[in-house]
Amino acid sequence: MRVRNALRVSAQGFALGFVTLAGSITLFVATVLSIVFILLGIGLLTTPYVLAAVRGFANWRRRIAGDWAGVTIPVPYRPFPPDLRPGFTGLVERCTLLLKDPATWRDLLWLFTDMTAGYITSLFSFILIPYGIYGSVLAAGVWRPIVNSGGNEWYAFIPISSQSTANLAALLGLGFLVLAVFVNPALQRAHFLVARSLLAPTPQMALTARVERLTATRHDAVDTSAAELRRIERDLHDGAQARLVAMGMSLGTIEALIEKDPQQAKKMLSMARANSAEALAELRDLVRGIHPPVLAERGLGDAVRALALRMAMPVEVDVELPGRFEEPVESAAYFAISEVLTNAAKHARAERVWLDVHHANGTLRIAVTDNGQGGADTTAGTGLTGIERRLGAFDGVLAVSSPVGGPTMVTMEIPCDPYPAPSSRS
């Protein structure tokens, strides 16, 4: 297993060394020239495209760092505003935003480091095995024509002039092969650790990104709250309030008819009673939409179980929670689950859904999997975007895996801690 791994790393080191040298040098020179040409105006047009290529190259390195060596390198780039203008004006604005992003300059420094230190580490992860084999090749007799033709062959620190020195080279080569088995993975990891030191966000960049994200989610939360208040006001105005006004007018008519036409008054009383029942039902639905009573009384676990029972399709629920959470967290999680289940029934046409809710390591994790048709997209303006914003207010994240044809898996995480005991809640 170790030998196979060393051979794999050696082959990857060869490919990586070639790409590192060719790609990093080309992109470094192109980037520097493009930035210099900004003074001539040409760079305003070329820099966004060159830096896009640099970021694509860096993202490829981030991806293989995780796949080959298990080194995770987060992406530090600032997102572009959604209202970037097209054409020349948009290119100039994009160029300005790219040059203001600290990650751009760290990418440039990484390119320079990659074609020097990065190339050396990838070269060493490759060269040990072929160089070790070359020692045995010399001992097999290749040294003779080299020396006989007047050549001066050295293997590492051993001058090759006879069969005995060639045998020493073979012995040393065997040592290189043994060394490669243990050292090659470490050299490859060292290569990606060097890359991570420049490609990963600095603590200051991570803090800035976190502040920007929290600011954006705070605005989203405010907008969502305002929209929710408008919805409640509209539902009250169009529903329960209209029925109560109609009921009041009916009672006034009944008061006038109770002596003149008791039979008609009884009919109108029956209608008023029906209107009052419908108004009460609408108020209950409205309150349940704001904060379901079962969520307030029993907590998130029982609330999602009750929600699953109301769904038209079978929902298998697995809930393991250590206690209650803050009411805003429970509410956000509940309505997010409700939206995902509704999407599964309405859009995915799922026949069965699996819901898993548990808490571990300070994070509430929710996974909703359905066997529907798939194809869900968070960028398409669906309800998933609203869920992402709702969770973002709590520094939560949403991940969606939904290939066309299904299945769809929606994963939500909210950093939070439960109350140690229900009695401790105020």
Of the CA atoms within 13 Å of residue 403, those in its CB half-sphere come to 3
In the prediction, which pLDDT does 50 show? 93
User: Could you report the per-residue pLDDT of 194-204, keeping only the tens digit for each?
Assistant: 999 889 888 77
When the candidates are 1.10.3470, 1.20.5, 3.40.1350, 2.30.30, the CATH number that belongs to 218-290 is: 1.20.5
Query: Which of 17-26, 135-144, 259-268, 305-314 is modeled with the greatest confidence?
Result: 17-26
User: Could you report the per-residue pLDDT of 365-384, keeping only the tens digit for each?
Assistant: 999 988 877 777 665 555 67
Residue 426, pLDDT above cutoff 50: no
Mean pLDDT value across residues 159-188: 88
Which has more pLDDT, 86 or 116? 116
Domain coordinates of the chain in residue numbers?
A: 2-199, 218-290, 294-424
In the prediction, which pLDDT does 394 show? 79
Mean pLDDT value across residues 25-43: 91
Bridge partners for 414 per DSSP: 364
Helix H or strand E segment including 270: helix 262-290
- Confidence band, pLDDT 50/70/90 cuts, at residue 421: very low
Which has more pLDDT, 384 or 34? 34
In the prediction, which pLDDT does 214 show? 64
- Confidence band, pLDDT 50/70/90 cuts, at residue 423: very low
Of the CA atoms within 13 Å of residue 350, those in its CB half-sphere come to 30
Range name among 6-10, 61-65, 228-232 with the lowest pLDDT average: 228-232
Pairing, β 408-415 against β 158-160: unpaired
Residue 311, pLDDT above cutoff 60: yes
* CA atoms of 222 and 308, how far apart (whole Å): 29
State the alpha helices, DSSP H only, in 292-419. Answer: 293-298, 300-310, 327-346, 383-392
Residue 212, pLDDT above cutoff 70: no
Mean pLDDT value across residues 325-329: 84
Phi, psi of 353 (to 5 degrees): -135, 145
Query: Which of 74-78, 107-111, 282-286, 310-314 is modeled with the greatest confidence?
Result: 107-111
Q: What is the pTM of this model?
A: 0.57
- Confidence band, pLDDT 50/70/90 cuts, at residue 422: very low
In the prediction, which pLDDT does 58 show? 93
200 to each of 17, 31, 106, 128, how far by Cα in Å? 21, 20, 9, 29
Residues 294-424: name the CATH superfamily.
Histidine kinase-like ATPase, C-terminal domain (3.30.565.10)
Residue 425, pLDDT above cutoff 50: no
User: Could you report the per-residue pLDDT of 72-113, keeping only the tens digit for each?
Assistant: 998 888 888 776 766 667 788 888 889 988 899 999 999 999
